[in-house]
Amino acid sequence: MTEEKKRIKKPRGKARYVEGKCIGCGERCVSACPVDGIAMNEAGEPVIEADKCIGCLKCVKACAANALEMFYSPEELEQLRNWEEQHGAGEDELDEEERKLREELAAYKGVWVFVEQYDGEAARVSWELLGTGRQLADRLQVELSAVVIGHKVGHLCEEAFAFGADKAFLLEAPVYTHYRTQAYTEAIVHLIGKHRPEIVLMGATGQGRDLAGAVATVVGTGLTADCTGLDIDERGNLGQTRPAFGGNIMATIMCDRFRPQMATVRPHVMTMPERQEARGGEVVREGFAPVEENIPVKVLEVIGERDGKDQVDIAGAEIVVSGGRGVMNEANFAILREFADELGAVVGASRSAVDAGWMPHGRQVGQTGKTVRPKIYIACGISGAIQHMVGMQDSDVIIAINRDPEAPIFQVATYGIVGDLFQVVPALTRRIRELKKQRRGKDQAA
Ligand SMILES: Cc1cc2nc3c(=O)[nH]c(=O)nc-3n(C[C@H](O)[C@H](O)[C@H](O)COP(=O)(O)OP(=O)(O)OC[C@H]3O[C@@H](n4cnc5c(N)ncnc54)[C@H](O)[C@@H]3O)c2cc1C
Ligand code: SF4
Ligand code: SF4
């Protein structure tokens, strides 16, 4: 008897429905079945045609509610016991398609972070992502690489090493002087094709969002935008967590059948890693550069953001005083500005205040505004809707001032003041002024 013949085949069994567990997710099981073996009955529950079922397990895997399971005849159960003795319980006999897919995915290795830069200066979010990338790479026991693209940007490789990268892919050429979607997309697609990373992270900035979408489309993989958390699951896949359904739930999205797994993360969501000057790494210079004549978009002039009306960077501020609908009108924001001036803070706002036209959009904190992570966040007359909280809940200290003791903002607040902001805020401003005056008096006396 040959080795092949001695091998026991794993019995496949048949799928069956676990009564009462279907949540009517939209017939994922029906779509997953390759033999049209499942139909939905009038009660909206799956009915499996046992004659058709080939025991491929696809419906069981597709059902997020665990509403489907495999069952075996007594003979099959006996066969299964023997099979498990030979192969170990919990092991799956992979079909050819699955085996091929796993082989393809295994060819992708390493975590990459795209280093966004303007005039040779890196965006802070890229270093934040290197901190997260380092943790992911350590969990996977793979290398962490920075991708540096630009003209005369070699110094950024050293910085990337200081923030945790093991390696830096460097593409330098005049064609990369200014960010242009086509040139940068071609560059990254080229690198991905050649080096096959399993994870690619970019900042959820104007540039990162544009580039990530274009790259994911060309390489034919998934992209999760605006992630607030990244982790590795037990199978080595990237869990990409982000708010979903208008911010009412946090969804963890997996891209377990395509590589690379791509995600963007907003500035200030991840913690900035410590800079380690002594760290070094390997620079891999890549000569790839698109031909300038083939790129229809030309950059004629760069108009800096600082020429805009609202120059304040609330995302980078150490103290933020934010106002919401409770501030009542635009003029009342002067009370918050006075308070912020005494604290050396900047003024932010909830979407309600921005929608009402009391503050510019650049000051909005939250899901559709900016994510802030200041040392102190002071929320004045803000109820604490989930869409606001996702933008500020990671602040070191949160102080909430609200006249409603039941306001959800108090659930995330380090200190809560239940009271009228029109009394509390001026009182705090006066007290800070007094304290400063006292300190000045002491300094002069000393
Ligand atoms: C898809 C989507 C995206 C969104 N994105 C954002 C976002 O990015 N950022 C954001 O902020 N929101 C966002 N929202 C809106 C969000 O759901 C809330 O509607 C909004 O945050 C509420 O703003 P607010 O807290 O200022 O107003 P309200 O919810 O009306 O709260 C006002 C608060 O002020 C208090 N108050 C009133 N008067 C006083 C007073 N005199 N003294 C003290 N307290 C007082 C009240 O008790 C109340 O708690 C989004 C919504 C959706 C659907
Ligand atoms: S196990 Fe496979 S063949 Fe059987 S019902 Fe489920 S999807 Fe269809
Ligand atoms: S996949 Fe699961 S929850 Fe969805 S319809 Fe089928 S049995 Fe119901």
Is 173 within 8 Å of 295 (Cβ atoms)?
Answer: no
Q: Which residues form the pocket of ligand 2, taking CB atoms under 6 Å from any ligand atom?
A: 15, 32-33, 35, 37-38, 48, 53-59
Q: Phi, psi at residue 185, to the nearest 5°? A: -65, -45
CA atoms within 13 A on the CB side of 422: 7
Could you tell me if residue 37 is left (phi over 0), alpha (psi between -120 and 50 degrees) or otherwise beta?
alpha
With a 6 A CB cut-off, is 65 part of the ligand 3 pocket? yes
Residue to mutate, 68, 69, 70, ligand 3, most ligand atoms under 8 Å from C-beta = 68
Ligand 3 centroid from CA 26, angstroms: 7
Tokens at 423, concatenated: 């009394």
Q: What is the pLDDT of residue 306?
A: 46
Long-range contacts of residues 57-63, Cβ cutoff 8 Å, at least 24 apart:
57/15, 57/92, 58/32, 58/33, 58/34, 59/15, 59/29, 59/32, 59/33, 60/15, 61/32, 62/28, 62/29, 62/31, 62/32, 63/25, 63/28, 63/29
Nearest to 366 by CA among 342, 346, 382: 382
The Cα–Cα gap between 195 and 190 comes to 9
Ligand 1 centroid from CA 351, angstroms: 7
Ligand 2 centroid from CA 54, angstroms: 6
Tokens at 1, concatenated: 């008897």
Is 321 within 8 Å of 378 (Cβ atoms)?
Answer: yes
Q: Residue 374 gets which letter from DSSP? A: -
Tokens at 289, concatenated: 């550069």
Q: Residue 364 gets which letter from DSSP? A: B
260 upstream amide cis, omega within 30 of 0: yes
With a 6 A CB cut-off, is 125 part of the ligand 3 pocket? no
Please report which helix (H) or strand (E) contains residue 179, including its range.
none
Q: What is the pLDDT of residue 14?
A: 94
With a 6 A CB cut-off, is 32 part of the ligand 3 pocket? no
pLDDT in tens, 101-116: 889 999 999 999 999 9
Q: What is the pLDDT of residue 206?
A: 83
Ligand 1 centroid from CA 129, angstroms: 30
Q: What is the pLDDT of residue 6?
A: 56
Residue to mutate, 269, 329, 335, 387, ligand 1, most ligand atoms under 8 Å from C-beta = 387
The Cα–Cα gap between 102 and 198 comes to 13
**Mind giving me the DSSP string for 17-83?**
E-TT-----SSHHHHH-TT--EEE-TTS-EEE-TTT-----HHHHH-TT--EEEE--HHHHHHHHHH
Q: Which ligand is nearest to the CA of 423?
A: 1
Atom of ligand 3 nearest to the CA of 45: 8
Nearest to 46 by CA among 54, 11, 73, 65: 65
Ligand 1 centroid from CA 387, angstroms: 9
Could you tell me if residue 417 is left (phi over 0), alpha (psi between -120 and 50 degrees) or otherwise beta?
beta
Q: Which residues form the pocket of ligand 1, taking CB atoms under 6 Å from any ligand atom?
A: 246-247, 324-326, 350-353, 364-369, 381-383, 385, 387-388, 391, 401-404, 407, 420-422
Nearest to 403 by CA among 389, 388, 424: 424
Q: Which residue's CA is the nearest one to ligand 3's atom 5?
A: 27
Ligand 3 centroid from CA 419, angstroms: 49
Nearest to 380 by CA among 370, 360, 365, 362: 365
pTM over the 0.75 mark: no
Residues in a beta bridge with 346: 320
Q: Which ligand is nearest to the CA of 60?
A: 2
Atom of ligand 1 nearest to the CA of 353: 26
Give the C-alpha distances (Å, rounded to integers) separating 444 from 127, 233, 434, 436, 438. Answer: 43, 60, 15, 12, 10
Q: Which residue's CA is the nearest one to ligand 1's atom 38?
A: 326
Is 227 within 8 Å of 270 (Cβ atoms)?
Answer: no
- How buried is 175 (Cβ within 10 angstroms: 0-12 exposed, 13-18 middle, 19+ buried)? buried
Ligand 2 centroid from CA 65, angstroms: 16
- List the chain pLDDT tens, one digit each, 446 residues: 444 445 667 788 999 999 999 988 888 899 999 999 999 999 999 999 999 999 988 999 888 889 999 999 888 888 888 877 877 665 566 667 778 888 999 999 999 999 999 989 999 999 999 999 999 999 999 999 999 999 999 999 999 999 999 999 999 999 999 999 999 999 999 999 999 999 999 999 889 999 999 999 999 999 999 898 999 998 899 999 988 765 667 888 999 889 999 999 988 889 899 999 999 999 999 999 999 999 999 999 887 654 445 567 788 788 999 999 999 999 999 999 999 989 989 999 999 999 999 999 999 999 999 999 888 999 999 999 999 999 999 888 999 999 999 999 999 999 999 999 999 999 999 999 999 888 877 777 77
Q: What is the pLDDT of residue 180?
A: 97
Q: Which residue's CA is the nearest one to ligand 2's atom 6?
A: 59
Is 162 within 8 Å of 156 (Cβ atoms)?
Answer: no
Ligand 1 centroid from CA 416, angstroms: 17
Ligand 3 centroid from CA 66, angstroms: 8
pLDDT in tens, 24-38: 888 889 999 999 999
**Mind giving me the DSSP string for 409-429?**
HHHH-SEEEES-HHHHHHHHH
Is 324 within 8 Å of 381 (Cβ atoms)?
Answer: yes
Ligand 2 centroid from CA 17, angstroms: 11
